[in-house]
Amino acid sequence: MPHLTLEAMKARHGDALFLEFDGTRVMIDGGASGVYNSVVKDRLDQMQTASGGPGTIHLLIVSHIDDDHVKGLLDLTDELVEQQTDGDPERVRVRHAWHNSFSDMVLVPGGAVSPAGLETAGNAASSLLSAVNLDDSSLVAASVAQGRRFSNDLSTLSIPQNAHFGGDLSVVGDGTQPWTRNGLKLTLIGPGQEELKDLQDEWKKQLPKILKKEALAVADLATLDKSISNLASLVIIAQAGSKRVLLTGDARGDKVLDWLKKAEGDKPVYHFDIVKMPHHGSRRSNTDDFLQHVTADKYVFSGNGNHANPHPDTLKKLLLHQPHGNYELVFTYGPQEMQNQADFLATDFDNAINALVAAGAQVHFRPNTASSIVTTA
């Protein structure tokens, strides 16, 4: 039987993932600024067919529109639009996309929030970020305009957006069926209507202030990141035969656990072959209840040490709740690379890793010469 694999690219502080099974390829997120040109572009070139034609991405997924997830995908679609305009061969073929544009998520009946207003807010935020050199910050306000551009690119390229959900938002609802192709099944378990309603309410509070100022203070941006950006992360169970992978985006662990209970019933443990750890291993997103009740043979951490992620406290909590140690931990960066980030907690990280190894866990770091690390379910 073919293997179900998850390839995590060297995506700086973001996510850029390829899920593959029996000829079906799904790309989830594209990493932060610079990731597309440095690693993703070459990976797409490797997907060329035997005849030398472009490879195929059967489904392109934006987990949510934080810059460290959407920027690389926007670089890809911008390039595809340019190639189409110039009549040049396309680098890759994209068949379908799941993407919740921020304007689609927050527009409410009656037009209380206009697309033009969202565009203004996004442009103002982006200008401020550029001025204060915060390009690496995963702040949702700076990604409003990016999300709208990405939707426009998909339209220009005639790539169906959310066709699986009837062309509407990628959101869990009554009658939502898994996406399937050649034995690979993707089941969206979150967000639901409740989370999008929370998103609408919070954004409506913030938008008048944004438009009035036509810029955001750095403190405002940080508040938006905490209160809005991760509410809308797509959380997906990928399955092929008996093998299962949990893709979490930047969703909070407690929300993921709630969605698992709704999708699969109340269980003491939800076990997967691979879990892509929420929010790059952040200690705030990887809650105790999540680490206690969601288990895996292999835990994948995508992050380069920026914002102290993967956070040592997450590793300590994992060992606390799963002390048997019969699992593997997979990291997209090694400790020496992570130490280049000023906020990386090197000593605490080393101590946490050593404790996990002593308990029996196996630890794998992406080799310095490689652009990705592949995990097989």
Quick: pLDDT tens for 130-181.
Answer: 333 333 333 444 556 677 789 899 999 999 999 998 887 888 876 778 999 9
Check residue 206 and give its pLDDT. Answer: 59
What tens digit of pLDDT does each residue of 90-109 get? 999 999 999 987 656 554 33
Lowest-pLDDT choice from 223-227, 291-295, 345-349: 223-227
Write down the H helix ranges in the chain. Answer: 35, 41-45, 67-86, 102-106, 115-131, 144-156, 193-213, 218-227, 253-264, 288-293, 312-321, 335-338, 346-358
Check residue 319 and give its pLDDT. Answer: 98
Q: Is the pLDDT of residue 119 over 80?
A: no
Q: Is the pLDDT of residue 216 over 70?
A: no
* Model confidence band, residue 193 (pLDDT cutoffs 50, 70, 90): confident
Lowest-pLDDT choice from 61-65, 182-186, 351-355: 61-65
- CA angle 157–187–373, rounded 5-degree value: 75
What tens digit of pLDDT does each residue of 36-66 get? 999 999 999 999 887 788 999 999 999 987 7
Check residue 37 and give its pLDDT. Answer: 96
Give pTM, 2 decimals: 0.86
Homologous superfamily, domain 5-376: Ribonuclease Z/Hydroxyacylglutathione hydrolase-like (3.60.15.10)
Q: Is the pLDDT of residue 187 over 60?
A: yes
* Structure tokens belonging to residue 207: 């938008």
Q: Is the pLDDT of residue 32 over 50?
A: yes
Please report which helix (H) or strand (E) contains residue 266, including its range. none
* Model confidence band, residue 256 (pLDDT cutoffs 50, 70, 90): very high
Check residue 144 and give its pLDDT. Answer: 64
* Structure tokens belonging to residue 32: 């932060």
- CA angle 269–275–279, rounded 5-degree value: 110
Check residue 117 and give its pLDDT. Answer: 45
Check residue 202 and give its pLDDT. Answer: 63
* Structure tokens belonging to residue 305: 């040490």
Check residue 208 and give its pLDDT. Answer: 58
Domain chopping of the chain, boundaries: 5-376
Terminal-residue alpha carbon distance, the chain: 12
Instruction: Please tell me the distance from the alpha carbon of residue 308 to that of residue 312, in angstroms, as a whole number.
Output: 8
